[in-house]
Amino acid sequence: MVSASEWVQPSTRTDLIENLVSGVDRYNPNNVGILEDYLYHQIRTEEYDCLANLAILKLYQFNPDLYNPDVVINILIKALTSPFPDFNLCISLLDERAANVNPDEPDPLPALLPLLTTLHNLLQQCRFPAFWQLYRSDKSESLRDNYTVECVGFEDAVRRVVVRAVTGAFKRIGSERLSTYLNLDVEDLGEYVQKLGWTVGDAGVISLPSNPDNQPVSTVVQENIQLHQLTKIITHAQVA
């Protein structure tokens, strides 16, 4: 069972950040720098804290002057690989803003947002080969060169999305299929699945260990009513 508590409050979150996320200080525009630094810390490490990032977007929502497109893009890249609907939760805080007023510093977000959204949809629809194809294509060059290259472990984070989907749905999977999902060639694939504790069998078929999601069982659900749950109605009948 995956718990949401790590999402609500990651163990890596410091007290300082916790105070900002949970307290009324989250509305103070002067604190945006602390939260932005924390985001860049997440970019450099493989940590992730959705609620802290949403707090940045909240400050941007209330104080449009603070808006920093690079920060927004990095937040979205982090949200892309979350098992929760973080990506849409972030977008939902991006209010419509007036067209860019400063031509010297063009806002990269309007150009990248459709691409990020498409990538997100592909992951959500488990269209993993299509995701990699688009991500490796020229269309994504600027995203790769300016942003994801800085985001430590981005591709591995995408692979973890794949692993989550495959773990639940498969008992055994062909290595060819899996290699297109993970975008790994056969050699790397063997090493990768070994780390996961999956075994490569004959003819390159990979077996996954059992987990609650990949062993469906038929059950008959029976209602379970205890007498004390019916006390009200029985008492009523007696009184009447």
Partner 1 sequence: MAQRWESDLDEDLQDVDLNLAIGTYGQNGIYEDAQPRIDEATLLAVQQQMAQQAAFSVVPDVVKRFIVHFHQAVLDNNLAEITVAYESGWNKLTEKYYQKTEWPEAEVIAPLVNDDQIFLILYRELYYRHVYSRLQPDIDDRFHSYENSCELFNYLLNSDGPVALQLPEQWLWDIIDEFIYQFQSFCVWRTKVKSKTAEELQLLADAGQVWSSYSVLNVLYSLIQKSKIHENIAAVQEGKSAEEIAEIVGEYGVRPLYRMLGYFSIIGLLRVHSLLGDFTLALKVMEGVELNQKSPFTRVTACHVTTYYYVGFCYIMLRRYTDAIRTFVSILNFILRMRQYHTRSYQYDQINKTADRMYALYAICNALSPSRLDDNISNIVKERYGEQFAKMSKGEEGIPAFEELFIHACPKFINANPPPYEDPDLLATYIEEPPVEPAQRHLGLFLSEVRAQAPVPTLRSFLKLYTSLDASKLANFLDADEEEMVQQLMVMKQASRSVSRVEGEKSLLDGQTIPTSDLDFVIDENMVHIAESTVGRRYAGWFIRNTEHAQRVYDTVKNAPLPPKSGSASTQQHHQQQQQGSAPPKSAGQKVAWGGVKVN
Stretch 207-226 residues interacting with partner 1 (CB under 8 A):
213-225
Residue 163 amino acid letter: V
**Distances from the Cα of 178 to the Cα of 129, 134, 147, 166, 185, angstroms:** 10, 18, 27, 9, 10
> Are the C-beta atoms of residues 86 and 124 closer than 8 Å to each other?
no
Instruction: List binders of partner 1 among 81-120 (CB under 8 A).
Output: 84-85, 88-89, 91-93, 95-96, 98-99, 101, 117
64 near partner 1, rule: CB under 8 A: yes
Segment lying near partner 1 (by CB under 8 A), choices 3-11, 32-40, 108-116, 138-146:
3-11
Judged by CB, which is closer to partner 1: 14, or 19? 19
For residue 237, state whether it binds partner 1 (rule: CB under 8 A).
yes
- Give the integer Cα–Cα distance in Å for 43 and 74: 8
Total chain residues near partner 1 (CB under 8 A): 71
**Where does residue 139 fall: left (phi above 0), alpha (psi -120 to 50 degrees), or beta otherwise?**
alpha
Cα–Cα distance for residue pair 110/100, rounded to 1 Å: 10
Task: Please report, as residue ranges, which positions from 129 to 158 form the binding site for partner 1 (by CB under 8 A).
Answer: 129
Q: How far is the CB of 104 from partner 1 (least distance, A)?
A: 18
Q: Return the number of the residue (73 or 120) whose C-beta is nearest partner 1.
A: 120
174, 186, 194, 199: residue in contact with partner 1 (rule CB under 8 A)? 174
Could you give the CA distance from residue 25 to residue 204 in angstroms, rounded to a whole number? 55
